[in-house]
């Protein structure tokens, strides 16, 4: 039974409980992040045990075990790199392959990507995850943050200025039985570094116009690297709603060398979060304009966790954007009115030691509050409350429930658009597999536009 089928089955009730969330936070902080840290360092080491030990000193006295892990990881890296070269030639190259080959090439890429991600297990042997910190902390000092982002505090419209129209390159299309799939890419800038924005598009069959949902992921979630079939996005596309799923900065194909996906958002301190939102909010606006022109229907923006925090900033920033970049609706899953509260009181930042590192680096609450206008919703609001759908978990301790409820009140979201479960952060999000009512409500909102 696959994950999607399991989450829709009666068995899901056995683990969609708040106890699962508590266990998940512990497992992420104690096991998944250290394994990911070792994995990312190993990828950057390119098979050299000395380079790996220079990043993770605990491996200096365990050279033989580290060499074995690197040797086992090597074939996964080679297989993935070969699959990506084949994929990019097939989907973006000058010579088109046989149309029937595209689905097989994409599946081969997805399987190789998943195998690479599962390469973390190579560091479970011989206890190689022990002694590895969950995050490679490299917090940027306050002066550098001021230099990079201080000018954005001048006025609300300066926080997320509208970008010019993006020129998206579109891949070849996989024709599917229920919907078609292709990818977009365009140059982007994250924290002053040039890179590429990627997005997967699932297109309904039939002539448009079609409503669109641009839905972005949570931190450390890399959907392009984990094979998923018949998930919520695919089910939406099968029912006539176009779905655009961008990869956020620092994740997936946008991962920084030496870091695992999403790690810089934590590791760089406030600079990581500011860079993330500065880039991704702009990108979401560009995708809104593309989707509106491409599908001709109303466009919603949404996300889960970090993705919801990005989407809610779009709702505010779009008040200063041209009409084609403004969303018609929003879907926020496990969101929060206060990103700062999540950063200093959330259970995950506390579990990985982020609060202690912030304190050590002199990031007091007052100093963090200075950057609140660039991290969380202000007074501007491009959408009325009846156009916003929200899903919250009453036991959420990562983006604390009280702050999610405060956002609902602030934006006057009506009861018909509010879904609340007696669940935590992860289980509330996973409940969408079992109960798609928030998606159904979003569809009704879009139908009213």
Q: Please choose, from the candidates 449, 111, 125, the residue with its C-alpha nearest in 3D space to the C-alpha of residue 292.
A: 449
Q: Which of 80, 98, 127 is the last residue of a domain?
A: 127
Judge if 215 and 247 occupy the same domain: yes
pLDDT digits (tens, 9 = 90+) for 195-220: 999 999 999 998 889 999 999 999 99
- pLDDT category, 18, cuts 50, 70, 90? confident
Closest CA to 149 of 21, 276, 298, 326: 276
Mean pLDDT value of segment 70-92: 97
pLDDT digits (tens, 9 = 90+) for 123-141: 998 788 888 999 999 999 9
Q: Are residues 322 and 390 in the same domain?
A: yes
- Distance from C-alpha of 91 to C-alpha of 96, rounded to nearest angstrom: 8
Could you tell me if 66 and 38 are in contact, meaning their C-beta atoms sit under 8 angstroms apart? no
**Same domain, residue pair 38 and 182:** no
- Give the range among 70-79, 199-208, 268-277 with minimum mean pLDDT: 199-208
| Domain final residue, candidates 62, 92, 127 | 127
- Give yes or no: residues 384 and 440 share one domain: yes
Distance CA 105, CA 115 (A): 15
Q: For residue 441, give the nearest of 329, 311, 341 by alpha carbon.
A: 329
Summarize pLDDT for 287-338 with one digit per residue, the tens.
999 999 999 999 999 999 999 999 999 999 999 999 999 999 999 999 999 9
Does 323 share its domain with 349? yes
Pairwise CA distance, residues 44 & 170, whole Å: 30
Residue 5 lies in a domain: no
Q: Is the dihedral of CA 230, 235, 240, 244 positive or negative?
A: negative
Whether 161 and 123 share a structural domain: no
Q: What angle do CA 303, 297, 300 make, to 5 degrees?
A: 15
**CA 389, CA 313: separation in Å to the nearest integer?**
15
90 within 8 A of 101, measured Cβ to Cβ: yes
Contact 90, 97 (CB under 8 A): yes
Q: Judge if 173 and 303 occupy the same domain.
A: yes
Reported as type and span, the H/E element at residue 12 is none
Question: 305 and 219, same structural domain?
Answer: yes
Distance CA 228, CA 232 (A): 10
Count CB neighbours of 98 within 10 A.
8
pLDDT of res. 15: 65
| Residues 93 and 152 grouped into a single domain | no
Task: Identify the pLDDT of residue 6.
Answer: 57
pLDDT of residue 339: 92
**What global pTM score does this model have?**
0.95
Query: With pLDDT > 70 as the criterion, what percentage of the chain qualifies?
Result: 97
CB–CB of 224/112 below 8 Å?
no
CATH number for the domain that contains residue 206: 3.40.50.1820
2 within domain boundaries: no
- 85 and 149 inside one domain: no
**pLDDT reading at 5 higher than 60:** no
Q: Report if residue 10 sits inside a domain.
A: no
- Clarify whether residues 331 and 419 are in a common domain: yes
Domain that holds residue 72: 27-127
User: Is there a domain that residue 17 lies in?
Assistant: no
- pLDDT tens across 384-396, in order? 999 999 999 999 9
Sign of CA dihedral 139, 145, 147, 148: positive
Which ranges in 93-194 belong to alpha helices (H)? Answer: 102-117, 142-149, 156-159
Would you say residue 288 lies in a domain? yes
- Give 297-344 as a DSSP string: EEEEEEEETHHHHHHHHHHHHGGGS-GGGS-SEEEEES--S-HHHHHH
Q: Within a domain: residue 215?
A: yes
The structural domain count of the chain equals 2
Q: What is the mean pLDDT of residues 62-91?
A: 96
Same domain, 71 and 151: no
């Amino acid at each position: 039974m696959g994950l999607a089928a399991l989450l829709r089955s009666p068995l899901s009730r056995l683990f969609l409980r708040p106890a699962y969330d508590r266990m998940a936070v512990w497992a992420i902080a104690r096991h998944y992040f250290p394994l990911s840290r070792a994995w990312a360092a190993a990828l950057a080491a390119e098979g050299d045990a000395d380079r790996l030990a220079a990043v993770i000193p605990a491996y200096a006295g365990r050279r033989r075990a580290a060499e074995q892990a690197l040797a086992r990881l090597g074939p996964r890296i080679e297989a993935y790199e070969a699959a990506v070269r084949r994929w990019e030639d097939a989907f973006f190259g000058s010579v088109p392959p046989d149309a029937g080959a595209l689905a097989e090439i994409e599946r081969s890429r997805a399987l190789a990507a998943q195998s690479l991600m599962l390469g973390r297990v190579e560091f479970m042997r011989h206890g190689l995850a022990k002694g590895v910190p969950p995050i490679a902390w490299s917090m940027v000092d306050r002066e550098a943050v001021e230099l990079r982002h201080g000018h954005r505090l001048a006025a609300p419209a300066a926080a997320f200025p509208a970008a010019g129209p993006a020129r998206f390159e579109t891949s070849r299309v996989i024709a599917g039985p229920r919907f078609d799939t292709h990818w977009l890419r365009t140059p982007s800038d994250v924290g002053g570094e040039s890179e590429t924005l990627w997005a997967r598009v699932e297109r309904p069959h039939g002539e448009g116009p079609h409503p669109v949902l641009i839905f972005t992921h949570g931190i450390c979630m890399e959907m392009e690297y984990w094979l998923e079939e018949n998930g919520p996005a695919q089910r939406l596309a099968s029912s006539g709603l176009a779905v655009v799923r961008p990869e956020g900065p620092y994740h997936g194909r946008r991962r920084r060398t030496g870091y695992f996906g999403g790690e810089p958002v934590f590791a760089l301190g406030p600079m990581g979060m500011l860079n993330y939102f500065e880039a991704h909010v702009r990108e979401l606006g560009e995708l809104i304009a593309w989707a509106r022109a491409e599908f001709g229907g109303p466009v919603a923006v949404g996300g889960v966790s970090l993705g919801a925090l990005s989407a809610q900033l779009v709702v505010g920033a779009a008040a200063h954007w041209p009409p084609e970049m403004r969303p018609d609706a929003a879907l926020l899953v496990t969101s929060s009115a206060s990103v700062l509260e999540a950063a200093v009181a959330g259970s995950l930042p506390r579990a990985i030691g982020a609060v202690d590192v912030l304190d050590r680096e002199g990031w007091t609450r007052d100093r963090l509050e200075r950057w609140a206008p660039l991290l969380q919703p202000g007074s501007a609001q491009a959408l009325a409350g009846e156009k916003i759908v929200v899903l919250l978990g009453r036991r959420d301790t990562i983006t604390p429930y009280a702050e999610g409820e405060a956002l609902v009140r602030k934006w006057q979201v009506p009861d018909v658009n509010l879904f609340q479960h007696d669940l935590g952060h992860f289980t509330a999000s996973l409940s969408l597999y079992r109960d798609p009512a928030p998606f159904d409500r979003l569809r009704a909102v879009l139908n009213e536009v």
